[in-house]
Structure formats: structure tokens, C-alpha cells
Amino acid sequence: MVDFDEKSGVIWSSTEWGSWGQTIEEIFIKVNLPENTTSKQVVCKITAKSIKCVVRGIVIFEGQTYAAILCDETIWTIEDQKLLNIVLVKSQRTASECWKSLLVDQYIVDPPTFMEMEKKLTLERFQSENPGFDFSGAEISGNYQKGGPTLPTRD
């Protein structure tokens, strides 16, 4: 089932530690934290092509990002001492590529959710290219692969 956040318009892909989603410019990561987690108990090491998230000494995830990011523009916050929000900025924002996974070979989006992500990013791209038009009620019916695309890994 696709998790659609009406407020942000982001399609979320669930993981064992939380979820992640994307827009044409950004990647959003939500990590569920143990109650009363403080910022001193969280380490996010982020480079242009990798990310490592450690909470209370335990590695939550680490690896090479699906595509390059602008690490200097990355932010992370803790909400109510129980949710870590990480925002990564895609380095190739003009290409508006839809990431098939958060990390290479890890947290791969299931085919129905990926199709919805592609549709959402297409609408977002149309809106940015045509700022005078309202695409909020539009639906995309293009050549999206039914049953899901083959999900190749990135070099």
C-alpha cells in the first residue's frame, strides 16, 4: 500500500527503521527513535555519495546513496525526542531523477510505490516548468510500467 502524505505531497517507502521519500530536489528520511533520544545520541555522517546514521551507538543504516547529494545543504532534526528527520538535497536537481532506492542495493522501493513516486515527481516537474498553471488536481497517465520496473543498481 502506498503511503501518501497529503500535506507534503511525498510518497513514502517504508523501512524497518522508518521511511523515506522524495521530491524532485530533496530526499526525506524519517527514523523512528527510542523515546527520549537526544541530539547527543545521534550521529549522521554524510558525504556527497554516502550516509551513515548511528543512534545510541547502533548503526541504523549506512552505505552509498543512490545518487550524489549536496552534503553541505543537508539538515537533520529530532522531533519530540522520538523521530529523526533528515533532509538530503539531490545534486542533480535539474534532471529530477526518481531514486529507486535510498542506498545502493538497500531500501529499494517496491514497484507500485515507485510508480507512484514517478507520477508525483512528473507532476512536480510539470508544475515547476509551468508556474502559472495549477496541477494540484491533475493525474498522470503515461507510460509507467505496470507490475514494476526492473530495479538496477547504480555504479
pLDDT digits (tens, 9 = 90+) for 6-21: 445 799 999 999 999 9
**Cα–Cα distance, 118 to 111 (Å, whole number):** 10
Residue 33 belongs to what domain range?
A: 12-147
Inside any domain, residue 5: no
pTM (two decimals): 0.82
Instruction: Let me know if residue 2 belongs to a domain.
Output: no
Residue 9: predicted pLDDT: 77
* C-alpha cell, 78: 529530532
Helix H or strand E encompassing 108: strand 106-108
* 32 is a domain residue: yes
**Any idea which of 46-60, 116-130, 141-155 has the lowest mean pLDDT?**
141-155
Q: What CA–CA distances, in Å, run from 11 to 40, 54, 81, 109?
A: 30, 25, 24, 10
Whether residue 6 is contained in a domain is answered as no
130 three-state secondary structure: coil
The domain spanning residue 80 has which CATH number?
2.60.40.790
Q: Note the pLDDT of residue 134.
A: 73
Number of folded domains that form the chain = 1
Residue 154, in any domain of the structure: no
Average pLDDT over residues 56-73: 97
Q: Is the pLDDT of residue 155 over 90?
A: no
Q: Are 60 and 53 in contact (CB under 8 A)?
A: yes
Whether 43 has a pLDDT exceeding 60, the answer reads yes
pLDDT, residue 154, reads 47
| 3 is a domain residue | no
The answer as to whether 87 is a domain residue is: yes
